[in-house]
Amino acid sequence: MSNTSHEVAQGPHHNSGAASTALSAHSIDKKFPGVLANDSVDFDVRAGEVHTLLGENGAGKSTLAAVLCGLYQPDAGYLMRNGKRISLSSPRAGLQHGIAMVHQHFRLVERFTVSENVILGSRDLPFRLNRRELNEKVAAVAESYGLPIDPDATVGDLSVGQRQRVEIVKALYQGAEILLLDEPTAVLVPSEVEKLFENVHAMTAAGKSIVFISHKLGEVVEISDRVTVLRNGRVTGHVPGRGTADTKELARLMVGRDIELNAQRATHATGHEVLQIRNLSLSVNDVSVLTDISFNVHAGEMVGIAGVAGNGQRELADTIAGLISPTSGSVTISGSMTTDRGPVQAREVGLAYVPEDRLGMGLVPSMSILDNLLLTRDRQVVVDRISVRPEAARLIEQFEIKANGPDHLARKLSGGNAQKGLLARELSGGRGATKLLVVCSPTRGLDVGAIETVRRLLNDARSSGQAILLISEDLDEVLSLSDRVLVLYRGAVVHETAGETAQLSQVGAAMAGLSGGGR
Amino acid sequence: MLRIPFRVVFEQRGETARRLSLLVPLASVLAALFFGALFLLATGYSPIDTYINMFRDGFASFNGITDTLALSTVLICTGISAAFAFQMNLYNIGGEGQLYLGLIGGAWAGIALGDHLPTLLMVPVVLLCGAFAGAAWIFVPAFVRSRLGTSEIVSTLLLTYIGASLIKHVIYTPGSFFRNPNTSFPQGRLVADSASLDSFGSSRLYPTFFVALVIAGALYWVVKRTEFGYRINVIADSPKAAYYAGIHANRTTMWVMLISGALSGLAGAMLIVGPYGKIEPSIITLGYGYAGIVVAALARNNLGLIIVSGILFSGLKVGGNNLQVTTDTPIHIGVMLQGAILLFALGGEAFRRYHIHVVRVHDVSTKKVAA
């Protein structure tokens, strides 16, 4: 999440100042048990503009979006569409007023074709569908906004970016004038984000309104005509967008204090090799997942692994952590061969592992913080919780975990606190002092405040001489934190560069499998 | 089209209030009694008298309470057998069959070892043999479940039918080792005197009741305090976390199922050293093993609560079954009341876990979106 924005062809867009208000919300209140998710929120979007809702997780963005599209009914306040007061009893009613939401988690039937998904939920369909005519209509809608898609393709075979396109085409096909995009870039790679932004410009050029929901500052500044910032259910600021917005200012409105996201890369001498990977290959069911990977990570060094999800990152991490036995090659952690020795052995020589799936793999949700601390440690036949309790209390304090004490259940921690808890356990060692930390997507889904803390913790660990392997789909994160960056594509390292000199475009191209330079 | 203007919405409770955990079961029982009263009134019996009789025969008389505790001895064992496996999402439905095998294993030890051992040694040996036989009966389901993921629900259930046939076989086959050779009636051969315990006074309660209590307590401690219990809890909640931490789920699955089978087998052997003294073929009609599943469900698989739910369930059974003996109420009324109380008690769970409210249709917001 750096200020360096993605290079995007600026599409034509309307001068939003002149356009009329398409949809507005007035003093919206929405309560849930124990929370006031929206507290007299005002919001409006004009025809042909991109108006962004910016806020941390839990700030009330999604709630407001749900109210705007008819999924929720507000407890107080009302909506106006083209100057007329409307009340939406369901998303279908919202659609009748031309309002559609593209959810973060797609609502598509994987076994259906694109066309079938597009007409899903439409009423008044003929008993017998004319597929050719339908496909032509779907294709025509898609083409007109620069969203090329094969109407006959099965959704299950499509990439994430393409599925998102299907969702957008579906909304447009159903006659949406106002599209609410809920965290649309969360699942996309840089090139797909670029493409999405082009589509957004095409849509606004055609007079559609876009409500863009995000917590990523860089892209918000890039895409928005206007920005409305939410915090704790309240509007904390209306800010003009593109060109004029300042990420620092936006971050302050969002979090309520100044934050420093671009943790300084510490420059210091690195030590001996802690992790050595030699010719590592892995095949699962005769499909090659990792191919001949070799690299080292030194003490006090952070090596980043960039790549699009599903290119072998998880398998690489699991293999280093001793969970998977490689087909060939070796893993050595601080001088000891740990290949095929299992996770306990790997931990004994200094491995710590923060998996991508933090609640459910890294932490046991129904267990207390105390019991979770014991997960990767030596346990006696009769588990000794009494002597571990003070340590748990100390870690909660040291890592600033918001919890009621060691008995707080892991599933009741917020995402950020769960991650801090997981890092606390892994960094504090257990079976042996931590020498190597493998972290996967450490800040995914976290709010800005927690991201800052997690990145600081990683930097601190590096400064204290631990070797860190950072595996993340967030390219900005990998580039801004790592001393060296490796790009994983189809299970092979296709690009290697120093962190400081890394070129976003080069790394992005390598992630997409377009170039193999640098190695 | 007719539109119903109201809709019932189930909203999951974030956290169950402690007060509700007490209130809901209590209200469930009251609702069940009210429901039963409707039937009693309709068939011409006084609900108040019937309930007083049931309570007296189940809990508030010497014979009532001792019979209840005697029955609970078996049901506590089959109850923890079920709950112990269920808490790790292993559905051992075949406690019934393992109990039959426990009966056979216990009887074998009681007959074969004769009077060579003193009672103090003999009884534990009989109990262990029963437990071992129960564990042996679940070994194959446990093995294929832990290695191949084969459904233990089906395999344990089907083995119960084979177990029932085995009971019939050892009793009805002429010249069978387990058959009483001194009579032409198909009866079980009595075990040695040293393998039989005496009941307390004039009651039908045997000291095995305390064995059941100790085992329930011990298992509770194992799950809460030991490394083995810790593993069970990790695997039960998230197998991926177990994998991550290097905990072998296969091995633990195997052990949990074997222990579960052993507990049901133990229940069978307790019948040998206690009231039966032989294989009683009518055991296959009593359903003690299946009742253990209900006892576990009533206790929500909480090992600490099995003793309570086992005794309550037994009291309900004893009180209901005695209605026909002590009053002229037919036994079917008693069985109906038992069923109603169980149904309401288990159905009440919905109120504990969900906030249920009726709303006008245009206010309905059934979908939840993260705020």
Structure tokens at B277: 């003294």
By Cβ distance, the residue of A66, A364, A380 closest to B238 is: A364
- Which chain B residues are within 8 Å of A58, Cβ to Cβ? 370-371
Q: Tell me the pLDDT tens digit for each residue of B266-314.
A: 999 999 998 999 999 999 999 999 999 999 988 888 888 999 999 999 9
Q: What is the mean pLDDT of residues B7-21?
A: 67
pLDDT at A14: 41
- Which chain B residues are within 8 Å of A376, Cβ to Cβ? 245
- 3-state SS of chain B: helix, strand, coil percent to 5? 70, 5, 25
Least confident stretch, A142-151, A258-267, B128-137, B284-293: A258-267
Interface residue A72 vs chain B (CB under 8 A): yes
Is A124 or A208 the better-scoring residue by pLDDT? A208
- Helix or strand (DSSP H, E) at A290: strand A287-298
Inter-chain CB proximity B237 and A35 less than 8 Å: no
- Which chain A residues are within 8 Å of B241, Cβ to Cβ? 360-364, 375
Interatomic CA distance for residues A283 and B342, integer angstroms? 53
pLDDT at A3: 41
By Cβ distance, the residue of B230, B238, B365 closest to A365 is: B238
Contact present, A506 and A515 (Cβ < 8 Å): yes
CA-nearest residue to A344 within chain B is B246
Interatomic CA distance for residues A40 and A29, integer angstroms? 5
| Residue at A79: amino acid letter | L
pLDDT at B92: 95
Phi, psi dihedrals of residue A275, rounded to the nearest 5°:
-115, 125
| Residue at A74: amino acid letter | P
Neighbours of A127 (CB within 10 A): 4
- Which chain A residues are within 8 Å of B240, Cβ to Cβ? 357, 360-361
Please choose, from the candidates B23, B18, B24, B29, the residue with its C-alpha nearest in 3D space to the C-alpha of residue B313.
Answer: B29
Residue spans of beta strands (DSSP E) within chain B = 6-12, 354-360
- Helix or strand (DSSP H, E) at A77: strand A76-81
Phi, psi dihedrals of residue B7, rounded to the nearest 5°:
-140, 145
- Helix or strand (DSSP H, E) at A487: strand A484-489
pLDDT band at A268 (very low <50, low <70, confident <90, very high): low
Contact present, A250 and A258 (Cβ < 8 Å): no
Q: What is the mean pLDDT of residues A479-505?
A: 86
Structure tokens at A339: 């290949």
- Given a cut of 50, is residue A221 above it in pLDDT? yes
Inter-chain CB proximity A367 and B233 less than 8 Å: yes
CA-nearest residue to B14 within chain A is A33
Interface residue B221 vs chain A (CB under 8 A): no
CB-based contacts of A412, cutoff 8 Å, min separation 6: none
| Residue at B357: amino acid letter | H
- Helix or strand (DSSP H, E) at B105: helix B95-112
| Residue at B228: amino acid letter | F
pLDDT at B369: 40
Report H helices in A358-503: 369-374, 389-398, 415-427, 448-463, 475-481
The percentage of residues in chain A with a pLDDT greater than 90, rounded to a whole number, is 39
Shortest distance between the Cα of A427 and any Cα of chain B, in A, equals 15
Interatomic CA distance for residues B323 and B54, integer angstroms? 6
Shortest distance between the Cα of A201 and any Cα of chain B, in A, equals 28
The percentage of residues in chain B with a pLDDT greater than 70, rounded to a whole number, is 92
pLDDT at A5: 38
Least confident stretch, A28-32, A256-260, A495-499, B55-59: A256-260
CA-nearest residue to A373 within chain B is B245
Q: What is the mean pLDDT of chain B?
A: 88
Measured CA to CA in angstroms, residue A22 lies from A98, A168, A207, B56, B354 at distances of 10, 19, 10, 74, 39
Contact present, A353 and A321 (Cβ < 8 Å): yes
pLDDT at A1: 38
Structure tokens at A68: 């705007």
By Cβ distance, the residue of A33, A343, A357 closest to B245 is: A343
| Residue to substitute from B12, B13, B230, B255, interface A, most A β-carbons within 10 A | B230
Query: Which 3 state secondary structure label does DSSP give A381?
Result: coil
pLDDT band at B236 (very low <50, low <70, confident <90, very high): very high
pLDDT band at B338 (very low <50, low <70, confident <90, very high): confident
CA-nearest residue to B228 within chain A is A381
pLDDT band at B331 (very low <50, low <70, confident <90, very high): confident
Least confident stretch, A159-163, A287-291, B88-92: A159-163
pLDDT band at B344 (very low <50, low <70, confident <90, very high): confident
Q: What is the mean pLDDT of residues A59-86?
A: 90
- Given a cut of 90, is residue A509 above it in pLDDT? no
Interface residue B1 vs chain A (CB under 8 A): no
HSE (side-chain half, CA atoms, 13 Å) at B336 = 17
Interatomic CA distance for residues A16 and A300, integer angstroms? 50
User: Taking the domain B59-312, which CATH number applies?
Assistant: 1.10.3470
Inter-chain CB proximity B246 and A89 less than 8 Å: no
- Given a cut of 60, is residue A11 above it in pLDDT? no
Interatomic CA distance for residues B258 and B266, integer angstroms? 12
Query: CATH says A273-363+433-511 is which class?
Result: alpha beta
Interface contacts (A, B; CB < 8 Å): 83
By Cβ distance, the residue of B226, B238, B365 closest to A361 is: B238
- Which chain B residues are within 8 Å of A379, Cβ to Cβ? 227, 230
Query: Which 3 state secondary structure label does DSSP give A379?
Result: coil
CB-based contacts of A45, cutoff 8 Å, min separation 6: A21, A22, A23, A24, A51, A178, A209, A210, A211
Contact present, B103 and B130 (Cβ < 8 Å): yes
Inter-chain CB proximity A383 and B230 less than 8 Å: yes
CA-nearest residue to B242 within chain A is A361
Vertex A493: Cα angle to A492 and A495 (nearest 5)? 140
Measured CA to CA in angstroms, residue B174 lies from A440, B106, B182, B185, B187 at distances of 69, 20, 11, 10, 10
- Given a cut of 70, is residue A487 above it in pLDDT? yes
Please choose, from the candidates A108, A173, A179, the residue with its C-alpha nearest in 3D space to the C-alpha of residue A142.
Answer: A173
- Given a cut of 90, is residue B90 above it in pLDDT? yes
pLDDT band at A311 (very low <50, low <70, confident <90, very high): confident
Is B355 or A259 the better-scoring residue by pLDDT? B355
Query: Which 3 state secondary structure label does DSSP give A440?
Result: strand
Q: Tell me the pLDDT tens digit for each residue of B158-190.
A: 999 999 999 999 999 888 899 988 888 888 999
- Given a cut of 80, is residue A210 above it in pLDDT? yes
pLDDT at A260: 62
* Topology alike, domains A18-107+176-255 and A273-363+433-511: yes
pLDDT at A125: 78
Structure tokens at A376: 């990767």
pLDDT band at B5 (very low <50, low <70, confident <90, very high): low
The CATH architecture annotation of domain A18-107+176-255 reads 3-Layer(aba) Sandwich (3.40)
Inter-chain CB proximity B241 and A364 less than 8 Å: yes
| Residue at A274: amino acid letter | V
Interatomic CA distance for residues B365 and A89, integer angstroms? 9
* Most confident of the following: A120-124, A332-336, B225-229: B225-229
Interatomic CA distance for residues B315 and B309, integer angstroms? 10
Inter-chain CB proximity A344 and B240 less than 8 Å: no
Domain ranges of chain A: 18-107+176-255, 273-363+433-511
pLDDT band at A17 (very low <50, low <70, confident <90, very high): very low
pLDDT at A336: 86
Contact present, A149 and A166 (Cβ < 8 Å): yes
pLDDT band at B367 (very low <50, low <70, confident <90, very high): very low
* Most confident of the following: A346-355, B179-188, B338-347: A346-355
Interatomic CA distance for residues B334 and B330, integer angstroms? 7
Contact present, A182 and A62 (Cβ < 8 Å): yes
Phi, psi dihedrals of residue B161, rounded to the nearest 5°:
-65, -40
Report H helices in B149-301: 152-172, 208-225, 227-237, 239-244, 249-271, 288-298
ipTM for the complex shown: 0.82
Shortest distance between the Cα of A200 and any Cα of chain B, in A, equals 24
Inter-chain CB proximity A375 and B363 less than 8 Å: no
Order of strands across the sheet that contains A351-354: A351-354, A436-440, A467-471, A302-306, A484-489, A492-498
Beta bridge partners of A273: A298
Interatomic CA distance for residues A469 and A438, integer angstroms? 5
Q: Tell me the pLDDT tens digit for each residue of B24-77.
A: 777 887 888 898 899 889 988 888 988 898 899 899 999 999 999 999 999 999
Structure tokens at B85: 């496996």
CA-nearest residue to B227 within chain A is A381
pLDDT at A517: 45
Contact present, A295 and A493 (Cβ < 8 Å): yes
Measured CA to CA in angstroms, residue A274 lies from A318, A350, A482, A503, B265 at distances of 17, 9, 16, 27, 53
Interface residue B302 vs chain A (CB under 8 A): no
Is A129 or B8 the better-scoring residue by pLDDT? A129
Q: What is the mean pLDDT of residues A345-360?
A: 91
Beta bridge partners of A181: A102, A212
pLDDT band at B148 (very low <50, low <70, confident <90, very high): very high
Query: Which 3 state secondary structure label does DSSP give A178?
Result: strand
The percentage of residues in chain A with a pLDDT greater than 70, rounded to a whole number, is 92
Neighbours of A202 (CB within 10 A): 17
Q: What is the mean pLDDT of residues B117-131?
A: 93
CA-nearest residue to B362 within chain A is A89
Portions of chain B given CATH number 1.10.3470: 59-312
Beta bridge partners of A468: A302, A437
For chain A, what is the largest distance between any 2 Cα atoms, rounded to a whole number of angstroms?
74
Structure tokens at B205: 């309660």
Q: What is the mean pLDDT of chain A?
A: 85
